[in-house]
Amino acid sequence: MAGYPGTQAVRRAVRLLKAFDDAHPRRGLAELADVLELNKTTAFRLLAALEGEGLVARAAPAEGYRLGPEAIAIGARALRATDLRAAAHANLEALARAVGETATIEILVDAEVLIVDEVLGGRLVGSVPGLGTRWPAHATSTGKVLLAARSNLELPATLTRYTDRTITSREALEKDFAIVRARGYAVAVDELEMGYLAVGAPVRNHDDEVVAALSAGGPRSRMTADRIPTIVDAVRAHARAISAGLGAPVPRSES
């Protein structure tokens, strides 16, 4: 394989893409060249080619490069072809039937959540398709679940306020995350849009890592206070079932 023309350039480009991870979502040119043991000119040419294809993008001049929209799109397509979507879909259908609201499974992409699969709730109001849609993580139940599970939490310095209920204070968010971790689920009420409520719970993989979040959401006119405990139980139960399908360890309380 090494003898084919262009192989080295392809491998270097792939290594550049792999250099971006949760611990290093942004890297500068000099840093990338050093990590990959390339000279700056070679690294810059590769980055320019990747940028032209949308696989990397330049942030502010002082912040270097990050993965681009095409890399995110490719990752989402790959995810839809993996065990996560396969393990989740039957439970999404069952959850949507059980609560009568739209069920989604979402992953974290930088400071946003990405809907990788969903089943509509069958109601006209609150059933707008959102597959592939991204929402701000700090204003969603799934985002809170996923952010609360991260040890190296990184959020923009300024968080957008979408409603009067949106939490934009880092201190207030940290308190909310502590509650999410303690009770094992998150609720977002009027935080992304007035009149909308969603419940989210973590989905874990074989390493017991939170890799996604399951949610059920709809208008507050239907997601009433007396229904919330039942919806919470349903979301958590189906999240555990999906986790089991991914090989997650059974919690001690259930073993």
Question: Encoding tokens for residue 74?
Answer: 């490719």
Domain CATH code at residue 55? 1.10.10.10
Say whether both 131 and 206 belong to one domain: yes
The tens digit of pLDDT for each residue in 162-195 reads 999 999 988 899 999 999 999 999 999 999 999 9
Q: Which residue has the tokens 């934009």?
A: 168
Per-residue pLDDT of the chain (255 residues; tens, 9 = 90+): 445 556 888 989 999 998 987 778 888 899 899 989 999 999 999 999 999 999 999 876 667 898 888 888 887 676 555 578 888 999 999 999 999 999 999 999 888 898 989 998 766 455 554 777 788 999 999 999 999 998 777 777 788 999 999 999 888 999 999 999 999 999 999 999 999 999 999 999 888 999 999 999 999 999 999 999 999 999 999 999 999 888 888 764 543
Question: Encoding tokens for residue 171?
Answer: 């201190």
Say whether both 114 and 216 belong to one domain: yes
Last residue of a domain, one of 46, 67, 88: 67
Q: Is the pTM of this model over 0.85?
A: no
Q: Looking at beta carbons, which pairs linking 153-160 to residues 24 or more positions away fall under 8 Å?
A: 153/177, 154/25, 154/111, 155/111, 156/111, 160/136
With respect to residue 1, please indicate whether it lies within any of the assigned structural domains: no
Nearest to 112 by CA among 83, 142, 85, 82: 142
Helices (H), 28-150: 29-35, 40-52, 69-80, 83-99, 141-148
What is the domain extent for residue 119?
73-254
Say whether both 52 and 95 belong to one domain: no
Residue 5 is predicted with a pLDDT of 59
Contact 67, 20 (CB under 8 A): yes
Say whether both 138 and 205 belong to one domain: yes
**Residue 94 CB partners (closer than 8 Å, separation 6+):** 238
Say whether both 139 and 62 belong to one domain: no
Domain count, the chain: 2
Query: 3-class DSSP state for residue 117?
Result: strand
Say whether both 85 and 62 belong to one domain: no
Burial call 187-196: b when 16+ CB within 10 Å, e when fewer = bbbbbbeeeb
β partners of residue 136: 112
Residue 121 is predicted with a pLDDT of 78
The tens digit of pLDDT for each residue in 224-255 reads 999 999 999 999 999 999 998 888 887 645 43
Last residue of a domain, one of 67, 88, 116: 67
Say whether both 50 and 107 belong to one domain: no
Say whether both 48 and 98 belong to one domain: no
Say whether both 82 and 20 belong to one domain: no
Residue type at 246 in one-letter notation? L
Say whether both 81 and 62 belong to one domain: no
Say whether both 54 and 83 belong to one domain: no
Say whether both 227 and 134 belong to one domain: yes
Last residue of a domain, one of 15, 34, 67: 67
Residue 141 is predicted with a pLDDT of 96
Domain CATH code at residue 81? 3.30.450.40
